[in-house]
Amino acid sequence: MAFLKTLPVRPVLSRPVYGGREKREIPEFPKRTETGKTGKHSTPPRCRWCAHFARPGRALGYCASADRPDLLPAYGEHHPLRRLPADQGESCAGFRLHPALGP
């Protein structure tokens, strides 16, 4: 019955690799400071409605905001996207910061 004897097994995460770091170590996310900046670079304000949370004036020509009924529909009357004016949203009055990027 020697084959039933259990031996202590070290967990996978306790094997040091690359200068003492653990294998499968999960990196920490950058922490926000009191000013909302992470590290050396600040996060630019981004619209919660624009495609890919674009900054005003850098959208790809469309707006998904329900707050902009003044814009023409992009692909028909009931389509959710609206066409931006020539300034690509630079003067957008409905710009709101995405909640994940706010204070």
pLDDT, position 41: 44
Exposed / middle / buried, residue 76 (Cβ in 10 Å: 0-12, 13-18, 19+): exposed
Query: Are residues 62 and 83 in contact, defined by beta-carbon separation less than 8 angstroms?
Result: yes
pTM of the full structure? 0.41
Q: What is the mean pLDDT of residues 51-80?
A: 73
CA–CA distance, 90 with 59 (Å, rounded to integer): 9
Low-confidence winner among 17-21, 45-49, 79-83 (lowest mean pLDDT): 17-21
pLDDT digits (tens, 9 = 90+) for 26-48: 556 555 555 555 554 444 455 66
Share of the chain above pLDDT 90, in %: 0
| Structure-token match 């990196």, residue found | 27
Average pLDDT over residues 7-16: 57
Query: What are the φ and ψ backbone dihedral angles of 13, each rounded to 5 degrees?
Result: -75, -10
**What pLDDT score was predicted for residue 69?**
80
Distance from chain centroid for Cα 76: 29
Residue keyed to tokens 């770091």: 21
Structure tokens at 27: 């990196």
Helices H / strands E in the chain, number of each: 0, 4
Average pLDDT in the 89-100 region? Answer: 66
